[in-house]
Chains A and B, each alone.
Chain A
């Protein structure tokens, strides 16, 4: 991951997915950083990387590594993706049931 497929001459460089849930390519993440993204949230907002089913569990380290490499920042200084509930996708029906129960109990 440190010598990433960001080298244009590397085999398969343009075909590698950084975020597989939303199918975001490495080159899209790199473009976001070149355009000003400085942490994982910035990349997420520009590309949708991290907004899919896994909510960034799988792709966050990759995105952070790309930000670190392109901006020449140690990875320990790249701010992580903001985590908010729910931690897994849940059915809207579940939230609706919660609202109904709250109303009933009120």
Chain B
């Protein structure tokens, strides 16, 4: 009898960690990522990251290499360049790659699809030269293109600070950074950004980055019926999950940024937990293994569970207007 199949969607730190653990438990694991390079955010962050709480920070490319190696050596099949465009509650995935579209059946699914940048609309925010934080980071660090010389960064967060350093490392200048209400901001220029007005101030810039935060992107799980709840501390709408990252949708698990925006260390810890939870749901791992992974994740994981459960409202599709609970 062939081993139980676990599909991991997303090849960033979360997905790679889940794949390594699930494959190590004896499942037949296939990991899919829409990008041609595995590693997710580790492909384009330039500054040191912490992959496990209490450990020293390491270079993102080193973290990426070791996570990919761990998943591969555990026996997971790694499929970059493969977009999972649907995940039905029957645990059938629709996978699109350069050659074909394919139905893939799995016995359990781990959704590790990460997060996206939050919008922050203001007058002129669609002019050429206005970037989302992640878009600019990919351009600077992965493609080594500096789209201008004078940068404004909108947002006050660790991500905004990191981006400011990325700009400096690329030889750019941060002319203004901070946050102001939308009505006080305006980008202007002929054919592209030339100035950013902040209240009565005018700053001459050629690039504006919007770095106000990120939100979870668990779309595959949501489309399969996973309820959502609004948790501001996790970036907004996050999937409702139990303490072992199991979805109410049978044998679906969501982990990492897709379950709530957090750090790389959180992504790795939740990836491991989702991997072992998925394996345990197929009787390839014990309850003790799961409890160990929960404990290893520590207070951070428990805090995230509390954030999701503490939300005032759970939205279960089909959504109705007004309060539905």
Contact = CB atoms under 8 A, between A and B. Distances in A.
Interface string B188-229: 000000000100000000000000100101011011000011
Contacts of A90: 83, 85, 96, 101
A38 B229 CA distance: 17
Given A16-B123, A90-B85, A2 B319 contact: no
B324 interface: yes
A82 B183 contact: no
A39 B86 contact: no
SS class, residues of chain A in contact with chain B: loop
A88 B84 CA distance: 9
Interface in A53-68: 57-59, 61-62
B101 A98 contact: yes
A76 B223 contact: no
Contacts of B322: 38-39, 77, 79
A46 interface: no
A85 B184 CA distance: 38
Kindly name the residue among B120, B219, B229, B312 whose own CB sees the greatest number of chain A CB atoms within 10 A. Answer: B219
Given A11-B186, A76-B313, A85-B94, A5 B122 contact: yes
A62 B313 contact: no
A87 interface: yes
Nearest to A86: B85
Nearest to B88: A85
Given A39-B319, A57-B217, A5 B85 contact: no
A32 interface: no
B154 to A, nearest CB: 11
Interface residues of A, number: 43
Contacts of B323: 77
Kindly name the residue among A2, A18, A76 whose own CB sees the greatest number of chain B CB atoms within 10 A. Answer: A76
Contacts of A76: 229-230, 232, 311-313
Contact of A87 (B86, B122, B236): B86
B311 A13 contact: no
Nearest to B222: A83
Given A15-B124, A39-B320, 4 more contacts: A58-B116, A62-B121, A76-B312, A79-B315
30 contacts: A1-B121, A4-B182, A10-B182, A10-B183, A11-B186, A11-B197, A12-B122, A12-B183, A13-B123, A16-B121, A16-B123, A17-B126, A26-B121, A38-B322, A39-B319, A58-B116, A76-B230, A76-B313, A77-B312, A79-B321, A79-B322, A82-B317, A84-B223, A85-B94, A87-B86, A87-B220, A87-B223, A88-B85, A97-B100, A97-B101
Interface of B: 34, 83-88, 94, 96, 100-101, 103, 116-126, 181-184, 186, 197, 212, 215, 217, 219-220, 222-223, 228-230, 232, 236-237, 311-313, 315, 317-324
